[in-house]
Amino acid sequence: MASRAQKQATVAHRLRASARGLTRVEVQAGSGDAKLIRKLAKTLRDDTERARNLRETLARALSVENGRDAFAIFGSELPDEAFDGVFEQPRETGWPPVSL
């Protein structure tokens, strides 16, 4: 358990970081990714051209527009007329008989 002095130091540290516009974020990652995530966070804390480029690259890579959303997987560029008659088959009604 932390001592009173350690708790006060932690609170003071977090207040100073907050005053600089930083937010505390905790993540869980595989041991192989920990070093990469630390480098990523360090770069993003800086207000440099490298940090801006990294933010833009990450935003593009993680956006839904570049990802595969439901329409990208199941959507179609075909007109509605191409599907005429496909979904007009009657549905089966009722449950099949079950013997217990």
Per residue of the chain (100 residues), what is the pLDDT tens digit? 789 999 999 999 999 989 988 888 899 999 999 999 999 999 998 889 999 999 999 988 887 665 566 666 677 777 878 777 777 777 677 777 888 8
CA-to-CA distance for 36 and 74, rounded, in angstroms?
A: 35
Residue ranges per structural domain of the chain: 28-66
Question: What pLDDT score was predicted for residue 40?
Answer: 93
Distance of CA 21 to the CA centre of its chain: 22
Please classify residue 51 by burial: count the beta carbons closer than 10 Å to its beta carbon, then call 0-12 exposed, 13-18 middle and 19+ buried: middle
Question: What pLDDT score was predicted for residue 93?
Answer: 74
CA 70 → CA 16, 60, 64, 66, distances in Å?
Answer: 44, 18, 10, 12
DSSP 8-state symbol, 92:
P
Give the predicted TM-score (pTM) of the model. 0.52
Question: What pLDDT score was predicted for residue 64?
Answer: 62
How is residue 49 written in tokens? 């051209």
Question: What pLDDT score was predicted for residue 35?
Answer: 93
